[in-house]
Amino acid sequence: MEEIIAPISKEILKSELTDDKRLRFTNKSHKEIYIIPYQDSPNVLREIGRLREIAFRAAGGGSGMAMDLDEFDVMENPYKQLVVWNPEAEEIVGGYRYILGTDVCFDNHGHPLLATAHMFNFSEKFLKDYLPTTIELGRSFVTLEYQCTRSDSKSLFALDNLWDGLGALTVVMPSVKYFFGKMTMYPSFNRRGRDMILYFLSKHFGDKDNLITPMKPLEIEADPQELAELFNKDSFKEDYKILNREVRKLGFNIPPLVNAYMGLSPTMRMFGTAINYGFGDVEETGILIAVNEILEDKRIRHIESFVKQHPDALKITSGANKVITQVKA
């Protein structure tokens, strides 16, 4: 396990977070969201790598390196970094990395060079009909000081701030119809609790079309028949009450990001779970969310609020993005 690098100077970070890279201001807590490419913001990327490694190690994962940076962060056509910045404290709150499907390269065998390609198989249907209008998201993190496990008020809107950034992406990139990414659970999480969550996700969001499949699917340890008897309701809402109650009985909570994704869209697709060997053996569950099927209150909060702040954004979409509804003054 390597020693994590020292923090990057705030002055250096501010020099790279220029106005031309700012995507929007957040709805809550007065933060700023930037999109940075590796090539012209190398020091911000190093700080992201430092903070990611700290956050992932604290949860039981991580690369074990001095920074969590890999080839997808620094390759010729790298993933871009979406960063939430606190201008008052002059520090990074959290971030995602992402790549648009039309920017994805393929190897000589026709396999996509995606950060998830070592864990999941992608069907021809997904590559042809979905990937060109998909953003792959990954390495979602919230800096330790802003995580909701802490009592400090800093944590109140950190995840909300990140999703403001994703909402804005759907406006400035109107071709985007889907978000593909992973929900991560750590080996330290209670095994029975994990099995209940995965069973619940499969029951209510399981993909029937095999668009994406894990190369080595994780097998749950609990008896499926027992879980079927436990989650015996017809509705998501009633089964969710059972899930929340049973996980709490174990002394755990449903992980915040898993909880948030489940409440984002009723048509989310879940593709099974793979173990990410070499990254703390974390358990990665593939999901796909259709942008135009995100629940209305979430669309208003994270997407239409951006249009209110930036009326010119509607000109960018040229009406192509049907997610944007009439914005009230």
Q: Spell out the per-residue pLDDT of the chain, length 329, in tens.
A: 999 999 999 999 999 999 999 999 998 888 999 999 899 999 999 999 999 999 999 988 899 999 999 999 999 999 999 999 999 999 999 999 999 999 999 999 999 999 999 999 999 999 999 999 999 999 999 999 998 755 455 666 888 899 999 999 988 898 999 999 999 999 889 999 999 999 999 999 999 999 999 999 999 999 999 999 999 999 999 999 999 999 999 999 998 888 888 989 999 999 999 999 988 899 999 999 999 999 888 887 887 777 776 665 544 433 333 433 333 33
pLDDT value of residue 322: 40
Does residue 159 fall inside a structural domain?
yes
Which among 287, 283, 248 has a CA at the least distance from the CA of 265? 287
Cβ neighbours for 234, distance < 8 A, ≥ 6 positions apart: none
pLDDT value of residue 214: 97
Does residue 326 fall inside a structural domain?
no
Cβ neighbours for 81, distance < 8 A, ≥ 6 positions apart: 35, 36, 37, 38, 41, 44, 45, 48, 73, 95, 96, 97
Does residue 319 fall inside a structural domain?
no
- Helix, coil or strand: residue 280: coil
Does residue 265 fall inside a structural domain?
yes
Does residue 5 fall inside a structural domain?
no
Does residue 34 fall inside a structural domain?
yes
Total structural domains in the chain?
1
pTM, two decimals, is 0.89
Q: In which residue are the tokens 């998909």 written?
A: 134
User: What is the extent of the structural domain holding 268?
Assistant: 10-309
Does residue 315 fall inside a structural domain?
no
Domain with residue 118: its CATH number is: 3.40.630.30
pLDDT value of residue 149: 58
Element holding 328 (H helix, E strand): none
